[in-house]
Structure 1
């Protein structure tokens, strides 16, 4: 046929030009496409931009953040706007009934600021009453301490997120709050199409609420607000929340006082009295966020920052201190040695997490000792390469479940970078929606221990142990990475994996999140309970042959899906260019301009 010779030549040249799997073994029949450059497992390239960047778990929230930046808003303005939108669009992971933590790099003062915007337990609920009610509603196994149910009135603590917004805005905001909240108000009133992963979790939440309906004294408000027609909205369906629109309007017009002393506080108080709850307007009025100093360790030349307890961020730092004594790069990513030392380091750090992480207003945490190089060396010596450790405990003698969360990060043209995490704790929260407010109260109080004398033991006016942690990394005195990995106790494990992927294995900011993850579950918990030696969960990207070696060393290993958190990140390079990444396991998007 005329012209076929030229076509054949061009086809041969094209095939010669395209690299075949970049030196890696080609895998056929997996159903996916092939990338030309970068790691073959990466879902896309990093997003590059100079003037502003946002990475969130829902594309519409990312676009709102960029719109705020383009209007002259700061990274903090954009982060608040995106968080408000996510409270509407991803109620499975966050909302203003929950708490917030943030780390902000301020280029003007050239320092990091940490904000702990977590709420406290009701003053009118005593330890004795909590224990008695927990035993009645959720009888423990013989010999085990009682635990606080995840649903109903007992786990409800003061929502701290709104105060966190206004604290951040007062210090770093540029636009008025009414302009910052305007996009969320509009979407709440006009509606938006529900995205794929969120729709899946929305339906799962309804199932869990129905299974535990006996613990929830009032559920009609939640059904009316979040499950119109008695079911969760499906992917692509338009969802509206006019009650939340009105609540956001009150915040835009009257500020934080509307929530903690005004009409919202009064509504919450009246609702809780009506259903037999304990939270009161006096608890809301007494609430305050706390500016805290981020704490850090140096890992192979990078200064990694986390917030101090009552969160679990220092578990990241403890794990990195232990891992620095191993040559992970020589072991090889995904090898049996790599997974073995990772899981063992996690087990050691989490024993201290269970014993010492608590509200510092109620317990003096041995922070300096826990983060010291000497202590890490002591703990590292317990790890044997040929076998798993026997039952381990905390390393000091001083006295003493999956979360659903959103993480977002924003950077602006001035160089300000915000690392923000916000959550209702498990699922959508307690199941309790105060009359006409459009949001659910969190169940964060379920993370208190009911063991007398434990540092994290329940007490009135106390902040519970917290799972949500924002992360930040500095390099040579300059901001390098704003990042987070959401998902209960996966978060410290995810932080460590992302960082070692980048620092030890040279992955870019997107590849570091797309790489297959592991998660160890088990050991002692901050509730004063124990889950045994535990199980090492793996995503399918790990070599099944490695599992045999891990099992030979004594690990219990299982491949699974959906238990590995959600990641967002912004890296700032030496030229001042932002590199954005978003989690492929969620609906999210990184975008810049």
Structure 2
């Protein structure tokens, strides 16, 4: 497909020496600075995400989790699960005794151990080349000296004024005279700067032990939380092997549970049975098949995916041909199947994703999140650490694989992705947007593989997804009225999306020509850049 230069839009970025794509311009600049100073892709990714933990506080932070896939130039991959666990003292039985039947996003029990900082250090030890002291310099500067609020960040910030106002430390840090800042306002986070400086000097242990850890524990204990210093000190990152599945000559890599990457692989296994290339990419026929495949895959997720030590099935069983045959029999190209039920609703979430490839071909697909906007809304006052609420993904349901128990990781929505072509690195990419993420992976991939879009076109293309009850079908404004009508005629309850659906970054690797081609979502403030 060729871009119409008469219309608004952006071209993909093409470079040869290195590239970064993030959702914030200051983050992209930090990554490029590290690459040009001789750092590798992992170094640049850590520098970039640390900046985003300051400048996109509603999306990510030190008090959240992260996952990553690191891919060598020869296609070898390493996965990193940096999600934290529930406090050891919590249990389903205990919460039921206290009269709790669910963990709401505002509950103190939704705060699990933040895994991100430990994961950063683990990644650097395994693949990095620069010290944290150098990599956190930009983030520390923006936190201490101030950063300007960008347009999309300002828009999103207004949604959380009530949540932030309910916590004195959060209100003091993130509200300006009780209101959200406006685009162009300068925000300073001096306590967070001190914490970043401590991590830069003392490594992850400075976060998980000592004064910072005590501040987090004391803050949660005052609200009835059960986290202890021992819970924080025990935080670890798990090395995992990505799960691979072929699709039309390409291989998609996703991380195994407790993440939801299997959803994307199930969807591809269902969609490859249809000739998507023969369909209009914005037509109801293609989008109906995508959303029916999604409904089936998310139903499997909600039934089975959890901490792998607690799952009822092996995760590979979910993508076996026999399983996919059974699911495919429930799809019709002509109408929505009302028998497909996604058995629970979950809140939509907030995340940052970034992609970096360096001059030697090392590639990092990296995602970091505090789950809901501004996480739990609870800020530890001395350290300035805003805590996530990933634990609200748990159930309080005895016998369910994803019910809450001490030391257990919750089912996780955030996931990085990577795709190979003919066994060689081809696409380092990811999609933000909570539950939408695996569906977004499939949408971007099929846009490129089946419909011939370049990396920027594939990201720009209009999206649709189910609402947080998995019943109504939200379509972006770019979906034509004729398509919306065609989806409704197939039985979907179609509504126009109130906000853009997710965001994405991607870097395509062309080894033959020696180029990197990057794209970044116009739904966010960021961009891709290379040199």
TM-score, normalisation: structure 1: 0.86
Greater Rg, structure 1 or structure 2?
Answer: 1
What is the aligned partner in structure 2 of residue 304 from structure 1? 252
What is the aligned partner in structure 2 of residue 391 from structure 1? 339
Q: Is the 8 A contact 1:567 1:583 kept in 2?
A: yes
- Which of 454, 461, 464 is equivalent to 1:508? 454
Q: Establish whether residue 549 from structure 1 lines up as the match of residue 514 from structure 2.
A: no
The residue correspondences of 1:519-538 to structure 2 (distance < 5 A) are 519-521=465-467, 531=469, 534-538=471-475
Q: Establish whether residue 53 from structure 1 lines up as the match of residue 19 from structure 2.
A: yes
Residues 443-468 of structure 1, C-alpha deviations (whole Å, 9 max, x = no match): 00000011211110111111001000
Where 2:379 maps in the other structure, the secondary structure is coil
- Which of 226, 241, 244 is equivalent to 1:278? 226
Return 269-278 or 109-118, whichever deviates more. 269-278
Q: Could you tell me how far apart the structure 1 residues matched to 2:333 and 2:519 are? A: 34
Q: Could you tell me how far apart the structure 1 residues matched to 2:474 and 2:411 are? A: 24
- Which of 279, 283, 304 is equivalent to 1:356? 304
Q: Could you tell me how far apart the structure 2 residues matched to 1:555 and 1:274 are? A: 46
Q: Is the 8 A contact 1:152 1:432 kept in 2?
A: no
Q: Is the 8 A contact 1:582 1:588 kept in 2?
A: yes
Q: Is the 8 A contact 2:257 2:315 kept in 1?
A: no
- Which of 82, 92, 95 is equivalent to 2:58? 92
Q: Is the 8 A contact 1:407 1:422 kept in 2?
A: yes
Q: Establish whether residue 177 from structure 1 lines up as the match of residue 132 from structure 2.
A: yes
Residues 459-509 of structure 1, C-alpha deviations (whole Å, 9 max, x = no match): 111100100010100111110001111111111111111000000000000
Q: Is the 8 A contact 2:19 2:356 kept in 1?
A: yes
What is the aligned partner in structure 2 of residue 11 from structure 1? none
- Cα offset, 1:148, TM superposition: 0.8
- Cα offset, 1:55, TM superposition: 0.6
- Cα offset, 1:371, TM superposition: 1.1
- Cα offset, 1:125, TM superposition: 1.9
The residue correspondences of 1:382-421 to structure 2 (distance < 5 A) are 382-392=330-340, 401-421=347-367
Return 462-471 or 262-271, whichever deviates more. 262-271
What is the aligned partner in structure 2 of residue 153 from structure 1? 108
- Which of 106, 115, 126 is equivalent to 2:91? 126
Where 2:367 maps in the other structure, the secondary structure is strand
- Which of 95, 102, 111 is equivalent to 2:76? 111
Where 2:67 maps in the other structure, the secondary structure is strand
Residues 12-39 of structure 1, C-alpha deviations (whole Å, 9 max, x = no match): xxxxxxxxx97x9xxxxxxxxx615xxx
- Which of 380, 390, 398 is equivalent to 1:434? 380
What is the aligned partner in structure 1 of residue 406 from structure 2? 460
- Cα offset, 1:514, TM superposition: 0.3
What is the aligned partner in structure 2 of residue 571 from structure 1? 508
Q: 1:232 to 1:393 in 2, by over 3 A?
A: closer
What is the aligned partner in structure 2 of residue 76 from structure 1? 42
The residue correspondences of 1:126-525 to structure 2 (distance < 5 A) are 126-133=91-98, 135=100, 146-209=101-164, 213=166, 219-392=167-340, 401-521=347-467
Give aligned pairs, total.
527
Residues 238-271 of structure 1, C-alpha deviations (whole Å, 9 max, x = no match): 1111111110110011111111122211222232
Q: Establish whether residue 586 from structure 1 lines up as the match of residue 520 from structure 2.
A: no
- Cα offset, 1:546, TM superposition: 2.3
Residues 150-198 of structure 1, C-alpha deviations (whole Å, 9 max, x = no match): 0141200000000000000001111111001111111111111100000
Gaps of 5+ in 2: none
What is the aligned partner in structure 2 of residue 15 from structure 1? none
Residues 48-88 of structure 1, C-alpha deviations (whole Å, 9 max, x = no match): 11111011111011001000111111111110011110000
Residues 114-158 of structure 1, C-alpha deviations (whole Å, 9 max, x = no match): 0000000011122223235563xxxxxxxxxx3211014120000
Where 2:353 maps in the other structure, the secondary structure is strand
